[in-house]
Amino acid sequence: MTPPEINVPIGSILSALGLVGIFVFAASGALAAARLRQTLVTFAFFAITTGVGGGTVRDLLIGAPVFWIHDVWPALICLGAALLVWITPVHWWSARALDWLDAIGLVAFAVFGTAKAMSLGIHPFISALMGISTACVGGIIRDLLAGEPSIVLGPEIYVTAAALAAGVYALLLSIGLSPPAAAVIAVVAGFALRAIAIVRGLALPSYRERSAGGQAGGPSA
């Protein structure tokens, strides 16, 4: 049995989440360029590809017009974030600045991406997957450009936080909660989980190969 379509208007709170996600992810891209001591042009390139990368993949997958091709503001926001990082003193940015900016962008994009997919009548479960893609792809692109191991390949809770935010939003909306209320709850839940992971190093258990006798191989965690 096919579940009913849920058409969700992209309201002001959800639109604001999208813009916040673009800005903070763009800033995280610029910070990655700063750590590599790159030029302003590279700052801008890192910022744009990180800020719009996840949303671009999402729109291509759901068959929607790529959002930043038809609206100049996302690109301008990315360039503004790059310039802001470029002109501010380096001591303003702590060693954890990238992690916290990434955490904010992660949950904002997870919820906004889910909302946009649901607004097109896509099944809530698939919409949540689109939210996760929106949240994670930009960071993957940033890490690849910077030549750093992607955080999604480690055990630290990252994708799980995006999945929590996207899943909570889709679930709450499916049971009738208003989009603004669902968005706030989902963002708080996802950010809280990611914040705990950053502060306490919370991680998921890694895979361990097992020998023929059923004993776990490798060192114990």
Could you report the per-residue pLDDT of 162-213, keeping only the tens digit for each?
A: 999 999 999 999 998 988 899 999 999 999 999 999 988 878 887 775 555 5
64 within a domain of the structure (yes/no): yes
Residue 158 has pLDDT above 50, yes or no: yes
Domain that holds residue 71: 12-200
Q: Per the domain annotation, does 163 fall within a domain?
A: yes
Is 208 contained in some domain? no
Number of domains in the chain: 1
Render pLDDT for 67-107 as a digit per residue (tens, 0 to 9): 999 889 999 999 999 999 999 887 777 767 778 888 888 99
Confidence of residue 215 (pLDDT cuts 50, 70, 90): low
Tokens of 177: 């909660």
For residues 197 and 162, give the distance between their C-alpha atoms in angstroms, rounded to a whole number.
12
The answer to the question of residue 133 being in a domain is yes
Helix/strand/coil (H, E, C) string of the chain? CCCCCCCCCCCHHHHHHHHHHHHHHHHHHHHHHHHCCCCHHHHHHHHHHHHHHHHHHHHHHHCCCCCCCCCHHHHHHHHHHHHHHHHCCHHHCCCCHHHHHHHHHHHHHHHHHHHHHHHCCCCHHHHHHHHHHHHHHHHHHHHHHHCCCCHHHCCECCHHHHHHHHHHHHHHHHCCCCHHHHHHHHHHHHHHHHHHHHHHCCECCCCCCECCCCCECCCCC
User: Does any domain span residue 48?
Assistant: yes
Residue percentage of the chain with pLDDT more than 90: 53
What pLDDT, on a 0 to 100 scale, did the predictor assign at position 220?
39
Domain presence at residue 220? no
Is 5 a domain residue? Answer: no
Tell me if 111 sits within 8 A of 165, measured CB to CB.
yes
- Minimum mean pLDDT range among 29-38, 94-103, 119-128: 94-103
State if pTM tops 0.85.
no
Q: Alpha-carbon distance 210 to 176, whole Å?
A: 45
**Hey, what are 207's tokens?**
């895979």
Q: Is residue 118 part of a domain?
A: yes
For the CA atoms of 198, 185, 67, 135, what is the dihedral angle to 10 degrees? Answer: 30
